[in-house]
Structure 1
C-alpha cells in the first residue's frame, strides 16, 4: 500500500476553504489515487462511486484550474505533487528513479528538471501553465 504525505494545514489554506465539500473530498481523492509521479488516469465514474458524491469533469477542471493539468491519453497531472512528496528530484536517489522515469515518459521531465518548475509551472503540449496559490 502506497503512503503519501499530506499537509496538516491543508484545510487552513484559503483556496481549500473556499471549495465546495465535494471538491474538497475530490482533491484528497486525487492526491491519494494518483501515481507516485502525480499522474492520475482519469476515471470520473470510479471517483464518484468511491467517494459517494456527484462529480463532473468540466466542473473539476474549472474548480482546480491550474492545480490539475489535463494531458494526453486521458491523464491529469498535479504539478505540485512531486515537489511536495519528494522535494527536488535527484537521479542518484533510488526512490526518485521511478518518478523520473514516469515523468520522462510523459515529457514532463527533461534535462534533469521537472518542466520547468514542479512547484509553480508545468509545460504540457507546448502550453506553459502557472500555478498560483
Structure 2
C-alpha cells in the first residue's frame, strides 16, 4: 500500500475512509469531536496516503453487510388488505355518487348518509397500519 500513498484519492476512496470512520464511531473507537475532525480531513484529502493516515490507528473494520436483491423483501400491502380497500373504496364511492344524484334532484338538503361507511374504513385503516408496522418490524429483525 505504501507504493500508492502519493496517488491522488478518488471520491470512492474518500467514501471508503468516511465509512470506516462511521463504523469506528459506532464501535466506540472515536468520539464525536474526533470523528467530525477526521471526516472533514477525509473529504479534504488529496492523496490516498492522507486517507490512510486518518484510519491507520483504527482496528480492522467489521465486514460490510452484503445486500442482494433476494435478501431485501419488498414492503407491500398484503393481498387481503388490497381487496378489502378496493371493496370499501368502491362501496364508498358508489354511495357518494348516489347521494350526489339524490341531493341534486331534491330541493331539500339530504343528509350525507355515506358517513356510515367511515367507521368501517377507520377500522380497516387501523388494521392496515398494524399489519404494515408488524411486517416492517419483522423485516428489520431479519437484517
If the TM-score is normalised by the length of the shorter chain, which range does it land in? under 0.3
TM-score normalised by the chain length of structure 1? 0.22
TM-score normalised by the chain length of structure 2? 0.21
- Which structure is higher in strand share? 1
